[in-house]
Amino acid sequence: MFKARFLMLAVCLLGTTSPAPAQSSLDDLSWIAGAWSGDAWGGRFSANYSTAASGLLMSYSRLQKGDRDISYYEFEVFSLRDGKVHLQPFPSGKKAGGFFLTECDP
């Protein structure tokens, strides 16, 4: 009788627990590392992403139109905050509002 009650209790407890939410990792973004470029916005857009190291993943991007100077550039810093990937952009070198990654489907 004790074994039956213990088994029922164990089944009930295990049935009501939910798995812990998966923690994000900068490694989730490993696919983005490297150089990316293409024609966009009337010019040549290029972006370079580092691999994750020391808790950071960094990138820079630029838009060049013809032979003229860079018409746009941005730096980005990816880090972990409270177990979530956070992106802090710096468009034209100025800190802007950051945000958290909510979905990653490479």
DSSP 3-state of 74: strand
65-99 tens-digit pLDDT: 887 778 899 999 999 999 899 999 999 999 999 99
Can you point out the beta strands (E) in the chain? 34-40, 43-49, 56-64, 70-81, 84-91, 99-100
Q: Which residues on neighbouring strands pair with residue 102, listed in sequence order?
A: none
Measure the CA–CA gap between 23 and 54, rounded to whole angstroms. 17
- What is the per-residue pLDDT across 20-78, written as a single tens digit (0 to 9) for each? 345 678 988 899 999 999 999 889 999 999 999 999 999 999 999 887 778 899 999 99
Examine the pLDDT at 3 and tell me if it is beyond 60.
Answer: no
The two structure tokens encoding residue 49: 């992403």
Q: What is the pLDDT of residue 106?
A: 65
Reported pTM: 0.71
Q: What is the pLDDT of residue 9?
A: 34
